[in-house]
A and B are shown apart, each in its own frame.
Chain A
Amino acid sequence: MLRSIALWLEERLHLMKLFESTAGHKVPPSTNSWFYVFGSGTLLCFVLQIVTGTCLAFVYVPSTSQAWTSLQYLNNQQFLGWFLRAVHNWGSIFMVGIMTLHLVQTFLFGAYKYPRELTWVSGCVLFLCTLGMAFTGQVLRFDQDAYWGLGIGASIMGRVPLIGAQLVHLMLAGSTIAGETLSRFFSLHVFVVPGTIIALLSLHLRLVLTKGINEYPKAGCVVRKESYATEYEEMIEKTGVPFVPNVIGKDLIFSGFLIVAIVTCALVFGPAGPSGPPNPTLIHTAPRPDFYFLPIYAILALLPAYMETVLLLVAPLLGLAVLILLPFYSGTGEKSFRRRPMAVVIVLLAFLTVGLLAYLGTFAPWSPHMDAWSGTPAPAAYVKGRSGLELQGAILIQSKQCRNCHSLGGEGGMRGPALDTVATRLTRDQLIRQVIQGSGNMPAYGKNLRPAEVTALVAFMQTLRPSYQPEARDSTQSAQTVSR
């Protein structure tokens, strides 16, 4: 009975033929490697995102007045709503992570070279689409961070010459962040970008079948346009093994672990947010992006202001062009990373840069600590045994909000230098000048401090040095000091 049903289906759908040309296609036996599991891992994450995202859309309300409440409902009332939100969030984090590994692996293994240029290009665009999903998804978690994140996006768009204002309108679906903005991002996140991903993914997989999977590169085996295709075909004919069942085992094991890891993270860490309600009048907030955008957040604080707009608008396009066009200027030659030291250096440098920026982004040393002046008292040791004038200065250093940018005893802002040993670096005159005029990143306080307040503040700061270090002295005054 079953056999006859199978035969009936086979006769109509030609399943054996389909299998032979897809899952059962022949691949080089060298691809049976743990390095070749990241592509299928990314695909699995994508499928998981579609399934969990569709389920979340059963309940989520894409309206600025209701979205935040519906997220609270999902977290607290909908049966297992918190779990699905958590899986969707961790699925996105793993998808970006595994996709990055896939990109790095194909780069280091020279898989982008002839004749797989289009596979690489479609993969790069898929990577961009995935980052687009991450950004639009962050907006759908419509909380304070999402609201101000849109403001940041609009400000970046506003820097584009000539059509900046129009681009802001296009992004926000109007002149302000409001109802239509969220609807627009919902449509992008749920229809437009996933649709594009499915189309590009079809092309990507089709190319894997037509041009074959890249063999595990051997040092010294170079790619030549004249001979590569024939060499590859010969190799497949002689030694090729069907992907299913010979090679898929490692992918299955990796995928299994991936799901376990995502579910474990979801169970342990739970869903992300939503943080405070998206009410723009609640301004006591410090917007932070999700971790994938922390490097961008960091670089926007660290770039010199004069090159910011240019780098913000030109560098991403340039970087993208270098990445996408890679197979067109480096399409032949050595594939193995053992003979491509620059490729390895580029990957290490990229990881180091992005990792360091993301690390800085987690604690944002460039941001003032808005509550330090009222919430972080001066260390007791710094006020013990001080004169009345100096104590007055210690009070001023709190009440004038100096602590928001300057730390004492390791607490307070890191925007400006720590003041623990400031007396060893600046003389009395220099301290007065710095307070009144400001310089570098420090605002001038001349208008906001009375002369008596400056005197007290500087008197206190002159006590800030360890007992074993002398205070800073003016070299032009040194002769007098000695003679005295």
Chain B
Amino acid sequence: MTAEDQKSECPCKLALPTEAPAQGISRRNLLLKVGAGLNGIAAALIGVPLLGYVLSSFTKSSPNSWISLGPLDRFPQGETRLAVYRNPVSKPWDGDTAQVPCWVRRIDSQAFQVFAINCTHLGCPVRWFQESRLFMCPCHGGAFYEDGSHASGPPPRGLFEYQHRIEGGELKVLGGHVPTLAEPL
């Protein structure tokens, strides 16, 4: 029975599927393949930009830049003081999180060390203890000497140290990312 015959017999009855030819491409088969191919292209058109959007932070490198911590006389010789700078890549809605604290140790008139606040173990904020001249971490008990070297506890290395320079009577550091073992300062 051909399709023509079916049609004449009962016009409202759904046509029975015609047997696919043994070889070659049937019309339905072709439409399916074209449709699937078209949707594959459509998926790529949406999917690739989508992945690019989501993974953009994966490939982005850290935008470090020189940031001033203020005039040199803010840091007395022989002491270690907390300094705060504004993250150079901050956004208007960052709020307080745009502020980044760091420890500045002034050894003599021109010699400085600037340490990240983050413990090298797991990033908790280390605190400076003037009397024992130690940085202590509140999380897992890491301790560092005043020059940033590892004193005790689980941290795998000394404190992360910023590159710094003195320019126009101001202390400047190179910052812009959270220091981690993979990407120290």
In the complex, chain A residues whose CB is within 8 Å of the CB of B166: none
Q: Verify A175–B97 contact, CB threshold 8 A.
A: no
Give the secondary structure class of B's interface: loop
Is A119 in the interface zone, CB < 8 Å from B?
no
Query: Does A5 make an interface contact (CB < 8 A)?
Result: no
B77 → chain A, closest Cβ, in Å? Answer: 17
A317 to chain B, nearest CB (A): 18
Nearest-CB distance from B65 to chain A (Å)? 11
Does B131 contact A170, Cβ atoms closer than 8 Å?
no
> Once bound together, how far apart are the Cα atoms of A309 and B157, in whole Å?
13
A280-B117 Cα distance, complex, nearest whole Å: 9
Annotate A346-374 by CB proximity to B: 1 below 8 A, 0 otherwise: 00000000000000000000111010010
Q: Are B151 and A155 in touch, CB under 8 angstroms?
A: no
Secondary structure class of chain A's binding surface, majority of residues: loop
Contacts of A300 in B (CB 8 A): 121-122, 140, 154
**Any B CB within 8 A of the CB of A100:** no
CB-based contact A366/B140 at 8 Å:
yes
B95 is contacted by which of A64, A401, A404, A448 (Cβ under 8 Å)?
Answer: A64
Q: Which residues of chain B are within 8 angstroms of A178 by Cβ–Cβ distance?
A: 87, 90-91, 94, 97-98
Number of residue pairs across A and B with beta carbons under 8 Å?
206
Q: Does B6 contact A (CB under 8 A)?
A: no
Give which listed residue, A155, A166, A440, contacts B59 with CB less than 8 A. Answer: A166
Complex interface bits, B106-143 against A, C-beta within 8 A gives 1, otherwise 0: 00000000000110011111110101111011111101
CA separation between A297 and B123, bound complex, in Å? 13
Partner of A158, one of B117, B155, B181: B181
Interface size on A, as a range, is 35 or more
In contact, A280 and B156 (Cβ under 8 angstroms): no
Contact present for B132 and A401 (CB under 8 Å): yes
Contact A176 B117 (CB under 8 A): no
Q: Is B183 an interface residue (CB 8 A)?
A: yes
User: Any chain B CB within 8 A of the CB of A173?
Assistant: yes
Find out whether the CB atom of A152 lies under 8 angstroms from the CB atom of B123: yes
| A interface residue numbers (CB < 8 A to B) | 63-66, 147-148, 151-152, 154-160, 164-170, 172-181, 277-281, 283-287, 297, 300-301, 303, 305, 308-309, 366-368, 370, 373, 399-402, 404-405, 415, 438, 440-445, 447-448
Seen from chain B, the residues whose Cβ lies within 8 Å of a Cβ on chain A are: 55, 57-60, 62-63, 82, 84, 87, 89-91, 93-101, 117-118, 121-127, 129, 131-134, 136-141, 143, 145, 151-156, 176-178, 180-183
Which 3 pairs from chain A and chain B are nearest by CB?
A158-B180, A65-B95, A164-B182
Given contacts A63-B93, A64-B93, 8 further A-B contacts (CB under 8 A): A159-B181, A165-B180, A168-B182, A176-B97, A280-B97, A283-B125, A368-B141, A443-B134
